Amino acid sequence: MQGEYIGEEEFGIVKGVAGGNFFVMGENQMAALMGAKAAVDAIDKVPGTITSFPGGIVGSGSKVGSLKYKFMVASTNEKYCPTLREKVPDSKVPAGIKAVYEIVIDGIDEKSVSAAMAAGVKSAVMVPGVKFISAGNFGGTLGPFKIELHKVL
């Protein structure tokens, strides 16, 4: 009902790498959001990769499973929620951080996803007010690939 819809008549798929990720942490919501947007814009230029969430930005960072609802395969990662920093044991949100956005990257191979992560991080940190970059570590529960943030940089 709003604008034009274009659907592909044919499309193909290939096996790839899913779930490269990092967190953009800002001193306020605008800084974190602009950092995340800068990251997505940089990732869009890396061949063979996509950021599959709307606008490329995950508004509520995820984790595998749920403590409360056993049937859920994923839920919100409370350790990275700034508003819960004082209520969650082992919070991963540094002092002074008011907003956190997650960027999830899928690609045709590990090399492409690594390049996209590097490009995204390098762009995000150029935004004033972006104070920290981190990444989710799911302990191998999301698949065979573990792309370590410090190694891609």
pLDDT digit string, tens, across residues 85-133: 999 989 999 999 999 999 999 999 999 999 999 999 999 999 999 999 9
Q: Is domain 17-138+146-152 in CATH 3.30.70.520, yes or no?
A: yes
Q: What angle do CA 114, 118, 119 make, to 5 degrees?
A: 115
The better pLDDT of the pair 8, 23 is held by 23
Q: Which pair of tokens denotes residue 143? A: 């698949």
Residues 131 and 25: beta-carbon distance below 8 Å = yes
**pLDDT for position 65:** 78
pLDDT at 74: 78
Q: Under 8 Å CB-to-CB from 133, ≥6 apart: which residues?
A: 22, 23, 24, 25, 121, 124, 125, 149
Backbone dihedral angles phi then psi of residue 22, each to the nearest 5 degrees = -160, 160
pTM: 0.86
Q: In the prediction, which pLDDT does 64 show?
A: 79
Q: What is the pLDDT of residue 141?
A: 63
Q: Return the pLDDT at 120.
A: 98
- Give the confidence band of 139 by pLDDT, cuts at 50, 70, 90: low
Task: Domain ranges for the chain, please list them.
Answer: 17-138+146-152
